[in-house]
Structure 1
Amino acid sequence: MRIKQLEYLEAVIETGSINEAAKRLYLTQPSLSSAIKDLEKEMGITILQRSNAGVRLTADGREFMNYAKQILDQVHLLDDRFKKQQPLHQSFAVSAQHYAFVVNAFVELLKKINAPTYKFTLRETETENIFNDLRTFKSELGVLYINN
Structure 2
Amino acid sequence: MNLRQLQYFVTVVEEGSFTRAAQRLYVAQPSLSKQLAALEKELGGPLLERLPRGVRLTPSGRAFLPDARATVLSAERARRSARMTHDLTGGELEIATLFSIAIGLLPDSIRALRTRHPGILVSLREYVHREQLEDDVRSGVSDIAIGPKPRTWDGPVTSLGWEEFVVLLPEGDPLLRTTGRVELSDLADRRWVLPDPSAGMAPLVVAACRDAGFVPQPAVRSAQVEALARFAACGLGPTLLPDNVIPGDLRHLVRRLRRPLARELAAYTRMTWSPVASAFLDELWDPRAAARPANAFVPG
Displacement of 1:26 after TM fit? 2.0
User: Residue deviations 1:87-110, cap 9 Å, x none?
Assistant: 477xxxxxxxxxxxxxxxxxx898
Residues 48, 124 of structure 1: alpha-carbon distance in 2 compared, 3 angstrom cutoff: same
How many aligned residue pairs are there?
Answer: 107
Aligned to 2:288: 124
Deviations 1:22-52 (A, max 9, x none): 1222222111111101100101131101111
Aligned runs of 1:70-81 on 2, under 5 Å? 70-81=70-81
Q: In the superposition, relative to structure 1, how do residues 34 and 111 fare at CA in structure 2: closer, same or farther (>3 Å)?
A: closer
Q: 1:42 to 1:112 in 2, by over 3 A?
A: closer
Q: CA RMSD in A?
A: 2.8
Give the aligned residue type for 1:85. M
Residues 1-148 of structure 1 correspond to what in structure 2 (within 5 A)?
A: 1-82=1-82, 84-87=83-86, 114-116=115-117, 117=276, 118-119=279-280, 120-121=283-284, 122-124=286-288
2:12 & 2:288 partners in 1: Cα distance? Answer: 48
- For 2:39 and 2:6, locate their aligned partners in 1 and report how far apart those are by CA, in whole Å: 9
For structure 2, the 5+ residue unaligned runs are 89-107, 118-275, 290-300
Distance 2:63 2:44 in 1: 13
| Superposed CA offset, 1:1-40 (max 9, x none) | 0100011111111111101111222222111111101100
Q: Which 4+ stretches in 1 moved above 6 angstroms?
A: 108-113
| Residue-by-residue CA offset, 1:117-148 (whole Å, 9 max, x unaligned) | 532241228xxxxxxxxxxxxxxxxxxxxxxx
Question: Would the aligned equivalents of 1:48 and 1:56 in 2 still touch at CA under 8 Å?
Answer: yes
Q: Is the 8 A contact 1:8 1:32 kept in 2?
A: yes
Q: What is the SS of the residue equivalent to 1:46?
A: coil
Distance 1:18 1:111 in 2: 41
Residues 67 and 85 (structure 1), Cα distance of their counterparts in 2 relative to 1, 3 Å cut: same
Q: Which amino acid aligns with 1:62?
A: R
CA–CA distance in structure 2, aligned partners of residues 110 and 74 of structure 1: 23
**Contact preservation (8 Å) 1:47, 1:61:** yes
Structure 1 residue runs of 5 or longer lacking an equivalent are: 90-107, 126-148
The match for 1:92 is none
Structure 2 SS opposite 1:124 = helix
Pick the structure with more helix per residue.
Answer: 1
Q: Which has the higher contact order (CA 8 A, sep 6+)?
A: 2
TM-score (norm 2): 0.32
Identity %: 32
Offset from partner CA, 1:62-119 (integer Å, 9 cap, x none): 110111111112111110100x225477xxxxxxxxxxxxxxxxxx898667235532
Q: Which structure has the highest strand share of the two?
A: 2
Change (3 A) 1:57 1:124: same
